[in-house]
Amino acid sequence: MSSINMKSAEINEILKKTIKAIEEGKQEIFEILETVRDECNKLKEELEQLQDKIRFLIEEVEILENKENISKRILSRVSREFSVYTEEDIKTAYENANNLRIKLALKRHEERNLIKKRTDLELRLRNAQDILKRAENLMSKVGAAFDFLSGDLEDISDTLENINQRSMLGKKIIQAQEEERQRIAMDIHDGPAQSLTNAVIKTEVCERLLDMKTGNAKTEIQELKTILRNSIEDIRKIIYNLRPMALDDVGLVPTIERYINNFYNDTNIEVDFIIISQIDIDDKIKKVALFRIIQEALNNIQKHSGATKAKIKIELTEKNLSLVITDNGVGFDTERLKIGDRSDGGFGLFNMKERVELLNGRLEVKSKINHGTKIIVNIPNEDLGGKNEENKCFDSR
């Protein structure tokens, strides 16, 4: 029961950290939302002022058109009746008509510029309103996730305390975690990721339309585009860490190969991946467990070993699933670092050991200071109903 209580405390702590992270993300989205809303209000106000200017200018143009028509008729009359009007009268009529023509041309040019500016403002306002709508939708989804995590999942500790069988408890937890990770990954992929991608496209359209202009609006939209692109990249990383969808699509081995390739790109640590034999694994929990063990082992190598090279051997048969993971790092004293003692730096190994034991498997760690580390994993690949026979380890290979 103490182990169950310890598990409950762990999950509650993880839950609190998750809720805190979502709450901080929610605040950031809210700030972006307010910035876009302020921009929409500014554009609306600017558009209203521009509409007033255009209406006033149209009235001026109509007045000038009437005056110009009158001046043309006067000029025509004095030009025909030159015997009645003096040369000075003709000159005055001509200058008056010409001045009105110039004023009218200038006002018409000003009217066209204002109408063009109004069209640009209307387009910017529509795009800003679209971004605002999408940001509000994203805010709603994040709020729903926050409410869900801070509500129903708080009962996890109570559920754990009611489970008596440790193996059944652990398997249910792993299954629930992976199913929830898969669901969250799909939700983020189909929702926020696509929404943010569309928002970036919209900002690029705005930027092209504003190429001839400079101002606060363009700067803010460019900053928003950068933020959204970073958010998309973060969400994609979260999706892969939550649940590598390739496990279901292409299988365990190709997913491991892809992860190793990404690991090398990120850390420059060479990983030699050796496949001794392989079969399709139908049990999703075992498949995920093997991947998570490799993921955790490589994470430990990166953070603690100081290694430049690592090797992973995998053997998948009808009866047994085996892993050997080695590195050329600094190693450690296995007597001092107990993998079951989280307070002594062995939490990563503890996680691996827990996963293996919950599947009736066995994990062994061999290490010496300055001589690297070897992790040996054996998991039975058949349900025997009772105690599993001890599986032969391919440590010597």
**What SS3 string covers 102-114?**
HHHHHHHHHHHHH
Provide the domain limits for residue 346. 246-380
Look at residue 386 and tell me if it is in a domain. no
Considering the domain architecture, whether residues 188 and 42 belong to the same structural domain is answered as: yes
Considering the domain architecture, whether residues 136 and 118 belong to the same structural domain is answered as: yes
Measured between alpha carbons, how far is 249 from 253 in angstroms, rounded to an integer?
A: 11
Which of 180, 209, 242 is at the close of a domain? 242
Considering the domain architecture, whether residues 361 and 332 belong to the same structural domain is answered as: yes
Which of 218, 242, 266 is at the close of a domain? 242
Considering the domain architecture, whether residues 150 and 258 belong to the same structural domain is answered as: no
Considering the domain architecture, whether residues 234 and 185 belong to the same structural domain is answered as: yes
- The Cα-based distances of 309 to 212, 305, 346 in angstroms read 53, 10, 21
Considering the domain architecture, whether residues 87 and 199 belong to the same structural domain is answered as: yes
Residue pair 305/266 in contact (Cβ under 8 Å)? The answer is: no
Considering the domain architecture, whether residues 14 and 160 belong to the same structural domain is answered as: yes
Which of 205, 226, 242 is at the close of a domain? 242
Considering the domain architecture, whether residues 134 and 211 belong to the same structural domain is answered as: yes
Look at residue 394 and tell me if it is in a domain. no
pLDDT at 205: 65
Angle between helix axes 192-209 and 166-190 (nearest 10 degrees) is: 20
pLDDT at 220: 61
Residue 120: which residues within 8 A CB-CB, separation 6 or more? 209, 210, 213
Considering the domain architecture, whether residues 228 and 252 belong to the same structural domain is answered as: no
In the chain, how many domains are there? 2
Burial class (CB in 10 A: 0-12, 13-18, 19+), 355: buried
Considering the domain architecture, whether residues 261 and 148 belong to the same structural domain is answered as: no
Considering the domain architecture, whether residues 54 and 185 belong to the same structural domain is answered as: yes
Considering the domain architecture, whether residues 230 and 287 belong to the same structural domain is answered as: no
Digitized pLDDT (tens) for each residue of the chain, 397 residues in all = 445 455 566 766 777 777 777 777 777 777 887 888 888 888 888 888 888 888 898 888 899 889 888 888 888 888 888 777 778 888 888 888 888 889 888 988 988 898 898 898 888 888 888 888 887 887 777 777 666 666 655 555 555 555 544 556 566 667 667 766 776 777 676 667 766 776 777 677 666 666 656 555 566 677 667 767 777 776 776 676 666 767 777 888 888 898 898 888 888 989 999 988 888 887 888 888 888 889 888 888 888 888 889 999 988 888 888 899 999 988 887 777 654 444 444 556 777 887 888 888 888 888 888 888 999 999 998 754 433 433 434 443 3
- The Cα-based distances of 210 to 133, 176, 267 in angstroms read 21, 49, 41
pLDDT at 311: 92
Look at residue 385 and tell me if it is in a domain. no
CATH number at residue 8: 1.10.287
Look at residue 391 and tell me if it is in a domain. no
CATH number at residue 332: 3.30.565.10
Q: What is the CA radius of gyration of the chain?
A: 36
